[in-house]
Structure 1
Amino acid sequence: MFQSKVIILSSAILVLCNAVAIFEKFNKKCDFTDDECLKSLYFGIIEEATDNGIPELGVPKLDPYVLKNERVSVLGMINITIIDGTVNGFKKCALNKFHNDIESLHIQASLTCENFIVEGKYKIEVTPVLKALIGTLDIHGEGQGKVAIDKVKLDVDVAYEVIKNDNGDIRFKLKPEDNTYTFEFLEKVTFAADNVFIGSQDISTVTTNILNENWEFIAKNLGKPVVDLAMTLFTSNGQKVLDVLPIKDLYNTDLSPYIKS
């Protein structure tokens, strides 16, 4: 039993040391009011995750990002499950604006992403709401799908708080329930899918033609559940990084006054 505890403790220490080494490579300390320094620091961490992931913290590689059984609901009428897919394009996201509001403990950021592609094996299921409207019509689908976004702008407001962990170290904690965002598709969105059926009739070509002819309306309504999913993934992976972020080594500012009581 003692030996097992030693092995577990040693493994934990090794993980934390490897994680801290990632932050040390940026070789900078920021004032908490210096937006440009913080922008460079945070985006550097994101680029590290994009290119290589941070396996020591359980953060996967972001480009491509692997999706497994992730579900989005469209207007409460159709559930789309990405059974096995990928997201490509994080490398082509540019952080245009960044501001850390230390009084409200919110970060406002504006990003633009180009050639953003979600693709893979999907499944469509009709919700009870839509079934009540279409009666006996059997709409279903399971096959390969793709959504290609030429250019999208995303403005996010990320809420956080300053806390002390069980070891007495100062850490950041995200507050996803207080996050807000807006998005705008600046260029065309293209859809592709096979094996979409009404009963036994394959309507894949008709469906994708309708989607592509009305891409602005469709993308606007499909965009929110997709961005909701992206924000959830960001929060879960981001918190893993923040849990070990060595604040005392990366910030010049004393954050004690901001600790949640």
Structure 2
Amino acid sequence: MSVFKCLIFLCILYSFGDCKFLDTLTKCSVKDEDGCLKSVFQNIVTEAAQKGIPELNVPPADPLKIDKFSINLLETLTGTLSDGIVKGIRKCVFNKYQLDFEKLMAIQDITCDLTIQGTVTLSGKSPAIEALLGTNSVDVHGKGKVKIEKLNFYMETPFQLLKNDNGDVYLQLDDKNFKYIYDVQNMKFSAEKIVIGNQDICKPSVALLNDNYRTLLKSFGKMFLDRVVAVYCGLLNEVLRPLPLKFYITEDVSVYIDN
């Protein structure tokens, strides 16, 4: 192997040594007529998920740990996922990514296969589930997992352009005022144990969930996915806040700050 080829190999192997990750980013035009930004953000998210980006103090995000995640169900029930782990972020595919600097809007189309697992609890009272479980008072706990196949998001997220202390312009997504539509090709639930009282209802519960996942998505999917999208935007902001746009945008974008 020639000295030149050897140096190239070492540069790739130790991308966070002398060859910084930021220096490997492609620069795109604000007009982005050829889908350039899609490749850039695919690269950023994949790198951040797999290895983290040490030069931006960003730790690896796959697997992603979720300490506690709660949603309200049927108005009187609370479902909580504790010690949660999300796997598969590194393999998410960007079908589209655009930044509209005139409207300050990020447009994303992403498809992921995700696995979510952790400790699940369900508590409260609801007459709606009495026929199903034989009681209207619910106190369920156990360990569960769900595989989500081909989860597709199309999102429109407002963003701000801000300047840091060095005068560099960076982008910050609004993680509260986003809009999205979604579709799921398939979901498969599994569990080690689901207990209500002293009874293990794991098998019938898992069968019920797998047979009716589309109904569950219609009823509770948006509440859950609202939180998922907010977490995603928050994670992406951890990368974008310390990443000046000059590393991936050709033009001077400071002219758009007051728009």
Distance 2:172 2:50 in 1: 24
**2:216 aligned to 215, 218, 221, which one?**
218
Distance 1:44 1:185 in 2: 24
Q: What corresponds to 1:234 in structure 2?
A: 232
Secondary structure, counterpart of 1:50 in structure 2: helix
Q: What corresponds to 2:243 in structure 1?
A: 245
Answer yes or no: is 1:183 the counterpart of 2:204.
no
CA deviation after TM superposition for structure 1 residue 151, in Å? 2.1
**Quick check: 71-80 or 96-105, which moved more?**
71-80
What TM-score do you get using the length of structure 1 for normalisation? Answer: 0.79
Q: What corresponds to 2:254 in structure 1?
A: 256
Task: Give 2:253's aligned amino acid.
Answer: L
Distance 1:55 1:204 in 2: 42
For structure 2, the residue ranges without an aligned partner over 5 or more in a row are 1-15
CA deviation after TM superposition for structure 1 residue 131, in Å? 7.5
Distance 2:163 2:143 in 1: 46
- Contact 2:52 / 2:59 at 8 angstroms: preserved in 1? yes
Q: What corresponds to 2:82 in structure 1?
A: 83
Q: What corresponds to 1:147 in structure 2?
A: 146
Relative to structure 1, is the Cα distance of residues 146 and 158 closer, same or farther in structure 2, using a 3 angstrom cutoff? same
CA deviation after TM superposition for structure 1 residue 75, in Å? 4.5
- Contact 1:163 / 1:260 at 8 angstroms: preserved in 2? no
Q: What corresponds to 1:44 in structure 2?
A: 43
Answer yes or no: is 1:67 the counterpart of 2:66.
yes
Q: What corresponds to 1:93 in structure 2?
A: 92
- Contact 1:107 / 1:157 at 8 angstroms: preserved in 2? yes
- Contact 2:105 / 2:158 at 8 angstroms: preserved in 1? yes
Structure ranking higher in helix proportion: 1
- Contact 1:86 / 1:119 at 8 angstroms: preserved in 2? yes
Secondary structure, counterpart of 1:34 in structure 2: coil
- Contact 1:54 / 1:60 at 8 angstroms: preserved in 2? yes
Relative to structure 1, is the Cα distance of residues 75 and 37 closer, same or farther in structure 2, using a 3 angstrom cutoff? farther
Please provide the CA RMSD for this pair.
2.8
Q: What corresponds to 1:168 in structure 2?
A: 167
Distance 1:149 1:124 in 2: 21
Answer yes or no: is 1:31 the counterpart of 2:29.
yes
**1:117 aligned to 115, 118, 129, which one?**
115
Relative to structure 1, is the Cα distance of residues 217 and 232 closer, same or farther in structure 2, using a 3 angstrom cutoff? same
The CA deviation string for residues 190-240 of structure 1, in whole angstroms up to 9 with x for no partner, is 122354344433322222222111121113333223322222222222222
What TM-score do you get using the length of structure 2 for normalisation? Answer: 0.80
Taking only the aligned residue pairs, the percentage that are identical comes to 31
Relative to structure 1, is the Cα distance of residues 61 and 226 closer, same or farther in structure 2, using a 3 angstrom cutoff? farther
For structure 1, the residue ranges without an aligned partner over 5 or more in a row are 1-16
Kindly report structure 1 stretches of 4+ aligned residues shifted beyond 4 Å.
55-58, 131-134
CA deviation after TM superposition for structure 1 residue 54, in Å? 3.0
Q: What corresponds to 1:202 in structure 2?
A: 200
The CA deviation string for residues 17-58 of structure 1, in whole angstroms up to 9 with x for no partner, is 99x9331132x3221111522112121110111111235545
Distance 1:37 1:133 in 2: 50
Secondary structure, counterpart of 2:251 in structure 1: coil
Distance 2:79 2:52 in 1: 27
